[in-house]
Amino acid sequence: MWVTHLFSLTYIANLRYPTSSRRGSELETQRELGNYLTKTLRTVRHALQTHEGVLRDDVLISVWMLTNYEMLIGSLRREQPWSPWHLHSRGLYSILKARGTAPLYTIRGRSAFWLAYITVQINALALNSECPPESDEWLGVIKNVMDTDRSYIYHVSLFIVRVCIVINQVLNILNSCDFSAASREYHRLVAEFSAVEKDYYNFVLANPVPTSPTPPIQNFQLSGVIKGHRFLQLLLNFLTHDPVQRVPLNQLETQRNYSVRRIRDAAQSILNNVPVCIKTLPRRGEQSPKSVSDALRIIWPLTTICIIKPTLPAQKREAAKILDFIGEEIGVRQAFDRAPAPRYIPEQAERPLVLMDLESNEKEEII
C-alpha cells in the first residue's frame, strides 16, 4: 500500500512539476513523498526480518516497485553500485536467494521470480558483472518443470547470463592491462560469444516467439547483443596496441567491423520496437497506465543506444528524442540521464592504434 502511494504520488508530482527533480518541488509534496518512502522501507524491512517475509510475493513486488520508483525520480547511476536503484536490485537478489527453488515449481512462483530476476540481470549488465551464482540452479529448475521450447523469456534470460560472463571476463582482462592474457583469451571469448548468439537464434528460428511479452523482452536481449559486442570491440581495440602483435590486425579488423554492424542492427531493432503509444508522442495528460509501463521498460535499451559509441548518430538522435519525451511528458526522470559512464578501462581499449576500414568509411562519426 505504501509503495503504491509512493509511486503514484511521485508520478503525479513529476507531471505537475516537470522540472521538480532539478530544482525541487514544493515542500508539502516532498514531505509527503518522504513520509511514504520511510513507511515503505520500514514495512519492508520489518517483513524481511521474519522467516515468512521473504516468501511473501507482496514483499518482493514492493521491492520491485521501489526500483521503478527510483526510475521515476532518476536515481539510477548505471555504473555506481551504491546508487539506490542498484541497492534495491540487490535486495531483490537477496530475496530470491532466500526463497530458494521451491517457488519455481509453481506458475505463480515463476511469475514472481521473472519479475525480480530480470531486474537483477539488468543490474548485472549495468555493472558489467556476472549474474548471480544461483542462476544456473534457478534456470535449471525452470527448464525441468516447464515446456522451455515455448519459453521465450527463459532463453533470453539464459542468453544474458552467458553474455554477462563474457563481458565480465573481458573487463577483467582490460583492467589488468595484460596483452598476453588478452591475446591468449581473445579467440576463446569471441567463439564463446558467437556460440551464445547462435544458440539463441537457433531457438528463435525453431520456435514461434509469443506476441504479448516479445518487445520488452526482445529489447532486453538486444541490449545484451549491443553490450556484448561493444566489449569484444574494446578487447580488440586494446589488442591493436599489443607490441608483439600476437593477433593479426586483419583478424581484429574483420571482427571489429562485424561487431559494429551487429551493434547498429540491434540498435535499429530496438528503435523499431518502441511501443506505438510512445512513438506517437501524445500530449501531456493523454497517457494511459500502459504508457508509463512501456516507458519504464524501454529506458534501458534506449539509453544503451545513446551511450554506446558505435551506434549511428541518427540512431542516437532518435533514441534521445524518445527519451526526452518520456522524461518530460510521461514523467520518468531516468530518461534524462544519458551522461557517459566514468572511465573504467584503459585508454587503449577506447582508441585503436590503427584506423580501420569501417572507421575511415564512416561519414557521420568516427567510432
Band of residue 286 on the pLDDT scale cut at 50, 70, 90: low
Reading the block at residue 142, the C-alpha cell is 525452470
Band of residue 40 on the pLDDT scale cut at 50, 70, 90: confident
Cα gap 135→162, rounded to integer Å: 10
For 103-107, 198-202, 292-296, which range has the lowest pLDDT when averaged over its residues? Answer: 292-296
pLDDT averaged over every residue in the chain? 86
pLDDT given for residue 360 in this prediction: 41
* Measured CA angle at 78 (ends 151, 136), to 5 deg: 35
Q: What percentage of the chain reaches a pLDDT higher than 70?
A: 85
pLDDT given for residue 282 in this prediction: 55
Write down the residue that cell numbers 532463453 correspond to. Answer: 155
Given a cut of 70, is residue 78 above it in pLDDT? Answer: no
pLDDT given for residue 216 in this prediction: 87
What average pLDDT does range 220-241 have in this prediction?
96
Are 220 and 200 in contact by the 8 Å Cβ rule? The answer is no
Given a cut of 80, is residue 38 above it in pLDDT? Answer: yes
Band of residue 275 on the pLDDT scale cut at 50, 70, 90: confident
pTM of the model: 0.88
Band of residue 359 on the pLDDT scale cut at 50, 70, 90: very low
For 19-28, 75-84, 214-223, which range has the lowest pLDDT when averaged over its residues? Answer: 19-28
pLDDT given for residue 355 in this prediction: 52
Fill in the DSSP letter of residue 7.
Answer: H
Given a cut of 80, is residue 2 above it in pLDDT? Answer: yes
Higher pLDDT, 22 or 161: 161
Are 234 and 170 in contact by the 8 Å Cβ rule? The answer is yes
Band of residue 215 on the pLDDT scale cut at 50, 70, 90: confident
Q: What is the pLDDT of residues 173-187, one digit of tens each?
A: 999 999 999 999 999
What average pLDDT does range 316-325 have in this prediction?
94
Band of residue 229 on the pLDDT scale cut at 50, 70, 90: very high
CB-based burial, 165-189: b 16+ in 10 Å, e otherwise: bbbbbbbebbeeeebeebbebbeeb
Q: What is the pLDDT of residues 120-166, one digit of tens each?
A: 999 999 999 999 999 999 999 999 997 665 588 999 999 999 999 99
Fill in the DSSP letter of residue 280.
Answer: T
Are 64 and 113 in contact by the 8 Å Cβ rule? The answer is no
pLDDT given for residue 34 in this prediction: 81
pLDDT given for residue 150 in this prediction: 59
Would residue 245 be called left, alpha or beta, if left means φ above 0 and alpha means ψ between -120 and 50 degrees?
left
pLDDT given for residue 22 in this prediction: 46
